């Protein structure tokens, strides 16, 4: 196991024939669980097997560098917040057609107002107000003409009642 140690292999280690089974002394103190004497022919296979065994043991026992458990578990508040946001999105999606139905007329009105030219609108309003004033004056004259007989009759009755009331109070005022 000279290739796993901290110092590079020497020329002696390179000259060893791996086909003949010999006992070789190596420095393997840097690797945990390996014996200090190994057979040269089975050296690479045994080291690979032990390395795979250690890696599998570390992976299945749940070491701190577990890539599948990267985030901390959520608190109750975070879970509740996530659930509330999901429910709100569900309600929002369910109400979307109704919201569009209600807001569509308002959007059309806003678009209509944005497209209006203020000078054209002012001129139209002045023209319509003059037409309305003329129409009102005509109708007022017609109404006065229709009410003229009733007005004359009312004046005569009021004059009659006023004269009677005046005579009544003169009688009491003179001391009879």
Query: Model confidence over 63-111: pLDDT tens digits?
Result: 555 555 556 777 888 889 999 999 999 988 888 888 888 888 888 888 8
Answer whether 28's CB lies under 8 Å from 34's CB: yes
The answer as to whether 135 is a domain residue is no
Q: Angle at CA 156, nearest 5°, toward 150 and 162?
A: 130
The answer as to whether 118 is a domain residue is no
The answer as to whether 25 is a domain residue is yes
Number of domains in the chain: 1
The answer as to whether 169 is a domain residue is no
The answer as to whether 74 is a domain residue is no
Domain holding 12, by residue range, is: 2-61
Average pLDDT, the chain: 75
Bridge partners for 25 per DSSP: 37
Q: Angle at CA 86, nearest 5°, toward 84 and 91?
A: 95
Q: Say whether pLDDT at 23 is over 50.
A: no
Q: Where are the beta strands (DSSP E) in 5-80?
A: 23-25, 37-39
The answer as to whether 26 is a domain residue is yes
The answer as to whether 53 is a domain residue is yes
The answer as to whether 24 is a domain residue is yes
pLDDT in tens, 109-136: 888 888 877 788 888 899 999 999 999 9
Answer whether 1's CB lies under 8 Å from 33's CB: no
Supply the pTM of this predicted model. 0.28
Answer whether 27's CB lies under 8 Å from 2's CB: yes
């Amino acid at each position: 196991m000279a290739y796993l140690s901290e110092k590079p292999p020497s020329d002696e280690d390179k000259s060893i024939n791996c086909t003949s089974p010999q006992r070789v002394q190596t420095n393997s103190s840097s690797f945990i669980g390996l014996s200090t004497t190994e057979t040269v022919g089975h050296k690479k296979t045994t080291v690979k097997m032990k390395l795979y065994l250690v890696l599998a043991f570390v992976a299945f026992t749940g070491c701190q560098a577990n890539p599948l458990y990267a985030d901390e578990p959520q608190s109750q508040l975070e879970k509740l917040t996530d659930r509330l946001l999901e429910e709100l999105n569900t309600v929002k999606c369910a109400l979307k057609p109704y919201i569009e139905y209600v807001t569509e007329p308002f959007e059309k009105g806003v678009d209509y107002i944005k497209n209006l030219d203020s000078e054209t609108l002012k001129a139209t309003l002045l023209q319509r107000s003059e037409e309305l004033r003329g129409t009102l004056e005509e109708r007022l004259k017609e109404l006065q003409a229709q009410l003229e007989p009733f007005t004359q009759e009312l004046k005569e009755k009021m004059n009659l009642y006023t004269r009677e009331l005046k005579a009544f109070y003169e009688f009491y005022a003179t001391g009879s």
